[in-house]
């Protein structure tokens, strides 16, 4: 990736300009943090040795200055992040594959997240961003970062305590499967039902006459549980070759993936702990491996079409 940056004069100029902004933002944040710490120290010492209200007021002054600086530079930091995504990442993705488009403010809609049937809990709070879409040969695909949570409320003597729990955090990948499925087929991790944290269900969806599908791949059945309303169609989708490809794809993922085949689409959920596509603030933009991580995840998602052989059109849409 360093050769691409070095050989792209326009991109290098954009990075040089953004680096100036980044340094200003980083220094202002650093100064704000120092002022917050100084204010806390003055106030704590004043209270501890009993210097009185005047000394406490002296401590409030750097606190106020720090707050003003922090929120003033925060607007510039937001603009910096947007410029990085629209001017740097969008250009890099287009250089990687001219068919790719990058829409930082868009994502996978909540209704599609729900209708994928990958999760058993409806989100109470849903955020999505950084939509990447493209076409690999005959297959359209798109993916975005998603953070979905549900809340629980507990009555205490002091009132109601609200806690938020993660349903899913990572990337949702969607691809055209070139087949209008009669029913849905869902492949979830074997540990799905046992994980009472992120996967706990407060609002289980109804899947009608859904049954567990026993497949002829022991390794696949040991890793996943497959549900469908139509055993025949599920086996037609999950051919021996497809199961091997899913296992291979899963081996390259950070955590066990989930997959569903619904309507004419295939959905894949990749749980991830890392937030991609964000501009660094406290480290330089002018480093050779700046885009390596982001380009790698885009390439990984792009290659799913070939990994799962989605361009082999064994069906036509009915």
pLDDT in tens, 65-97: 889 988 889 999 999 999 999 999 999 999 889
- φ, ψ at 183 (rounded to 5°): -140, 180
> Average pLDDT of the chain?
85
Q: Are 27 and 138 in the same domain?
A: no
The pLDDT score that the predictor gives to residue 204 is 37
Is residue 44 included in any domain, yes or no? yes
Same domain (yes/no): 138, 73:
no
Kindly state whether residue 136 falls inside one of the protein's structural domains: yes
pTM assigned to the model: 0.84
Q: How far apart are CA 133 and CA 120, in angstroms?
A: 26
Does residue 196 share a domain with residue 303?
yes
The answer as to whether 312 is a domain residue is no
Number of domains in the chain: 2
Q: Which of 229, 199, 213 is nearest to 120 (CA)?
A: 199
Q: Does residue 315 belong to any structural domain of this protein?
A: no
Residue 195 lies in a domain: yes
Q: Is the pLDDT of residue 155 over 90?
A: no
The pLDDT, as a whole number, for residue 281 is: 94
Domain span holding position 25: 2-96
| Final residue before a domain boundary, out of 71, 96, 121 | 96
> Domain check: are 69 and 126 in the same one?
no
Asked whether residue 140 falls in the same domain as residue 254, the answer is: yes
Smallest Cα–Cα separation from 227: which of 184, 268, 173? 184
Is 168 or 192 the better-scoring residue by pLDDT?
168
Mean pLDDT across the stretch 257-267? 92
Task: Tell whether 167 and 301 lie within a shared domain.
Answer: yes
The reply to whether 210 and 286 lie within a common domain is yes
Higher pLDDT, 205 or 301: 301
- Asked if residue 318 belongs to a domain, the reply is no
In a domain, residue 316? The reply is no
Tell me the pLDDT tens digit for each residue of 173-207: 999 887 778 889 999 998 755 343 333 333 334 44
Residues 210 and 245 both lie in one domain? yes
Instruction: Identify whether 156 is part of a domain.
Output: yes
> Among the three residues 96, 127, 161, which one is the final residue of a domain in this structure?
96
CA atoms within 13 A on the CB side of 256: 14
Does residue 243 share a domain with residue 195? yes
Last residue of a domain, one of 69, 96, 123: 96
Verify that 118 and 239 share a domain, yes or no. Answer: yes
| Domain shared by 117 and 222, yes or no | yes
The pLDDT value recorded for residue 197 is: 35
Same domain? 79 vs 131: no
């Amino acid at each position: 990736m360093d050769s691409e940056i070095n050989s792209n004069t326009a991109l290098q100029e954009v990075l040089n300009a953004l680096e100036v902004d980044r340094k200003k933002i980083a220094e202002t944040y650093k100064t704000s943090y120092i002022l917050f710490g100084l204010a806390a120290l003055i106030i704590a010492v004043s209270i501890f040795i009993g210097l009185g209200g005047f000394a406490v007021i002296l401590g409030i002054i750097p606190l106020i200055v720090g707050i003003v600086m922090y929120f003033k530079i925060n607007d510039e930091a937001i603009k910096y992040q947007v410029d990085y995504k629209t001017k740097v990442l969008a250009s890099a993705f287009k250089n990687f594959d001219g068919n790719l488009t990058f829409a930082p403010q868009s994502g996978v809609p909540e209704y599609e997240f729900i209708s994928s049937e990958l999760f058993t809990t409806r989100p109470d709070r849903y955020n999505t961003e950084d939509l990447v879409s493209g076409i690999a040969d005959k297959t359209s695909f798109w993916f975005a970062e998603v953070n979905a949570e549900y809340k629980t409320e507990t009555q205490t003597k002091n009132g109601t305590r609200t806690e938020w729990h993660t349903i899913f955090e990572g990337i949702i990948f969607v691809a055209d499967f070139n087949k209008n499925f009669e029913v849905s087929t869902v492949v979830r991790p074997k540990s799905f039902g046992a994980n009472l944290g992120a996967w706990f269900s407060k609002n289980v969806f109804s899947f009608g006459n859904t049954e567990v599908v026993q497949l002829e791949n022991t390794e696949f059945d040991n890793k996943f549980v497959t549900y469908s309303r139509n055993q025949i169609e599920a086996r037609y989708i999950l051919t021996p070759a497809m199961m091997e490809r899913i296992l291979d794809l899963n081996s390259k993922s950070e955590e066990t993936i989930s997959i569903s085949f619904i309507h004419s689409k295939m959905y894949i959920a990749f749980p991830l702990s890392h937030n991609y596509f964000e501009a660094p603030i406290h480290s330089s933009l002018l480093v050779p491996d700046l885009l390596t991580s982001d380009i790698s995840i885009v390439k990984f998602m792009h290659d799913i079409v070939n990994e799962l052989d989605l361009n082999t059109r064994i069906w036509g849409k009915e």
